[in-house]
Structure 1
Amino acid sequence: MVKFMLKIAADLENLTNLQPDGGCDDPYFSYLFKLKCERCGELSQRETCVSLGDTVPLPLGKGTTNLVQKCKFCMREGTVTMISGRGQPLTQEESEGGKYSPLMLFECRGYEPVGYVFGGGWKVESLEGTKFEGVDLSGGDFAEYDEKGECPVMISNLRSTFDVVK
């Protein structure tokens, strides 16, 4: 069993606290990424969707997980379990420093997550306090105007990584 921390980074212009709409532990937020089989190295053709609110029974033993999937090439079954409570919003300070912010921890058995895909359902706030909800990052960026702060706001240069954690 290996744990992977999904970390995100972006260039935030006059913005801070980028995170899923319901916070980092939003049970309805969907994480999209491809899975690489640890046995044969096969990469899933399409993105896999995982969310905290979706659980299924473990194939063997007791308990639940968020995803059970079989490799189409070697037929080996693997699981992905999300571990909440480890994520935090991406702040303006982290963005300026080019740092990544942890978003979600995944415990994977038989698979390795690769290629996170940004989608909809994000929120962010301007440095003046204006909240922007339902932000769609699937196009790779976001641009608006903060009337309260009288300044443009923008999210660009989205990046992500899956880091192995102990």
Structure 2
Amino acid sequence: MVQYLLMITAELENLTNLQPQGGSDDVNFPFMFKLKCGCGEVTEKETCVSLNETVPLPTGRGNAHLVQKCKFCGRSGNLTMITGQGRPLTQEASQAGSFMPVMAFDCRGFEPLEFHFGGTWQAESIEGTKFEGIDLSEGEYADYDEKGECPVMISNPRAKFTVVK
């Protein structure tokens, strides 16, 4: 059993608290990334997992958020999401170039790679205005904060997976 922690960072202009819409533990947020099998084969397309979808394990003992066979070697692997580890990306962390945790994954037989910023995100301006429904799939987001009378922007979103166990 190896646990991977999805860590994100981005350049935030006049924004703070970037996180998945509804928070890191939102059951409907789609986490999309490629998987690498223990044999070294990487999936061609992103795999999508969310907290609200589980499938029974082939052994019949418990559930996982993903059970999949490698198309190359035929080995089966599974992935289970672990809640309670996510924290919003603050402006201070962004300016420092720090990565913040979003979600943990217990992976057996697979390693997550290349997170895709799909789904909708939320953040708030430094003046407190909430911005929801943010689409980062194109790599940036720009808007204007009427209350704070300033432009807001998210650019250069980056993600990495780190081993935690």
What TM-score does the superposition give when structure 1 sets the normalisation length? 0.98
3-state DSSP of counterpart to 1:62: coil
Which consecutive segments of 4 or more residues in structure 1 shift more than 3 A?
A: none
5+ residue gaps, structure 1:
none
Superposition map of 1:1-166 within 5 A: 1-38=1-38, 40-166=39-165
Q: Distance in 2 between matches of 1:36 and 1:58?
A: 19
Q: Distance in 2 between matches of 1:51 and 1:120?
A: 11
Q: What residue identity is the alignment partner of 1:127?
A: I
How far apart are 1:92 and its partner, in Å? 0.6
Q: What are the Cα deviations for residues 133-155 of structure 1, in whole angstroms up to 9, with x where unaligned?
A: 11000010000000100000000
How far apart are 1:61 and its partner, in Å? 3.9
How far apart are 1:58 and its partner, in Å? 1.0
5+ residue gaps, structure 2:
none
Q: Which moved more, 1:54-63 or 1:78-87?
A: 54-63
Q: Distance in 2 between matches of 1:58 and 1:65?
A: 6
Task: Give % identity.
Answer: 64
Q: Distance in 2 between matches of 1:60 and 1:116?
A: 28
Q: Distance in 1 between matches of 2:123 and 2:20?
A: 9
Q: Distance in 1 between matches of 2:111 and 2:126?
A: 36
How far apart are 1:22 and its partner, in Å? 1.1
3-state DSSP of counterpart to 1:115: strand
Q: Distance in 2 between matches of 1:94 and 1:63?
A: 37
How far apart are 1:157 and its partner, in Å? 1.0
Q: How many residues align?
A: 165
